[in-house]
Amino acid sequence: MSTPPQPPQPADQPPAHPGPQPAVPPQPTAYPYPNPQSPPPGNFYAQPTLVGRPADQPLPGQSHPGQPQPGQPMPGHPYAPPPQYGFVPVPPAGGGGAGKAVLWAVVGAVVASAAWAGGVLLLGGKGDDADLRGYTAPGNMCSSADYSSFKDEYTQDDSSPTRTALHDAALDEGYCSLSLKKTGSTYADAYLSMQLDLHKKTDPGPEFTATWKNYGDSHKDYDVDPVKGIGDEAYLVSQDTTNGSSSGSRYATLAVRDGWVTYTMSYSAYLSSYDRDKTPPALADVSQWLKTDAKATLGQLKD
């Protein structure tokens, strides 16, 4: 086990232990400049200095410049009182570069503190409040969302849709997933889902844009089109793999952001030789239904 370094001994005393001693590495310094000169004696923080007073003229109550005031801690004492807001100390005369360095460090701290305090007063300390635009997340999204545009094509109602609701300090959410059936169908011919998110702590804007605007970059063979007139920004993502055949799929999602609120409405239909429905609606029709119903839903969910 190595021997810990010994503190350096005064010049007029022999080392505590004979033999070579390990070198003491340079110690870090709090000064902003290398090798500053020590300022003159005196309690820097507690000692007022009047600008323009001759350097050799004592201050009131002092017998000599730089002498500590009665009752004040000695220079360099660890419990010297810190500077008060609104007081910018002036370094004693003859301080040289060290005095200037200390002065600018203190001035910077005072200015930064004042700026921070001003920011807290002006901005409330935590930035802007959530921009929810008056939306509320319903407890039952299936009964609150508008999907009437699909009902002419899919006439049967889903008797047991899936729905969830979340209410939290950071996020409110309503979700619904249901089956779409044409007249006479026993099983679902297509699926529709709706989800509303109220982001109460973080702005979803940057991530929303990155996800949906660039959806085609991370998902092959999808079309992405910006949609105007719904919320602050909206994107329609779609894919049709049927190619005129009786197999494949048709998929479309409309993603909308309005302030810190996001809403997605997704349609999907999967075709195979076993499906009764051989003629699902065209993707152009589905896209228009999504736009119409999403706009209506967002209007209904505002206070």
More confident residue, 133 or 61: 133
- The DSSP code sequence of 47-103 is ----TT--TTSPPTT-SSTTPPPTTSPPTT-TTPPPPPTT----PPTT-HHHHHHHH
Please give the share of the chain, as a percent, with pLDDT higher than 70.
Answer: 55
**Interval 31-57 mean pLDDT:** 44
144 — pLDDT class (breaks 50, 70, 90): very high
Strands (E), the chain: 162-167, 171-180, 190-199, 223-226, 233-240, 248-258, 261-271
pLDDT in tens, 234-282: 999 999 998 877 788 999 999 999 999 999 999 999 987 666 666 889 9
Two tokens, residue 188: 């679902």
**Interval 49-53 mean pLDDT:** 47
pLDDT in tens, 95-138: 455 444 444 444 454 444 444 344 433 333 344 589 999 999 99
- pLDDT given at position 85: 40
- Regarding pTM above 0.75, the answer is no
For residues 231 and 294, give the distance between their C-alpha atoms in angstroms, rounded to a whole number: 10
249, 241 Cβ separation under 8 angstroms: yes
CA-based angle 148:149:150, to the nearest 5?
90
Measured on CA atoms in the order 287, 288, 289, 295, is the torsion positive or negative? Answer: positive
Measured on CA atoms in the order 200, 203, 205, 211, is the torsion positive or negative? Answer: negative
144, 301 Cβ separation under 8 angstroms: yes
**Interval 76-96 mean pLDDT:** 44
- pLDDT given at position 11: 46
For residues 66 and 42, give the distance between their C-alpha atoms in angstroms, rounded to a whole number: 5
**How remote is the C-alpha of 226 from its chain's centroid?**
26
pLDDT greater than 50 at residue 151: yes
- pLDDT given at position 246: 74
**How remote is the C-alpha of 213 from its chain's centroid?**
20
**Interval 180-202 mean pLDDT:** 94
| Radius of gyration of the chain measured on its C-alpha atoms | 36
**How remote is the C-alpha of 246 from its chain's centroid?**
47
pLDDT greater than 70 at residue 143: yes
CA-based angle 167:140:213, to the nearest 5?
70
Alpha-carbon separation of residue 44 from 65, 74, 77, 99, 286 (angstroms): 12, 10, 11, 10, 76
Average pLDDT, the chain: 73
Q: Give the three-state DSSP class for 148.
A: helix
Place of tokens 């209007």: 299
**How remote is the C-alpha of 89 from its chain's centroid?**
38
Q: Which domains does the chain have, with CATH numbers?
A: 32-50+70-127 (no CATH), 141-300 (3.40.1000)
- pLDDT given at position 88: 40
Two tokens, residue 225: 């089109």
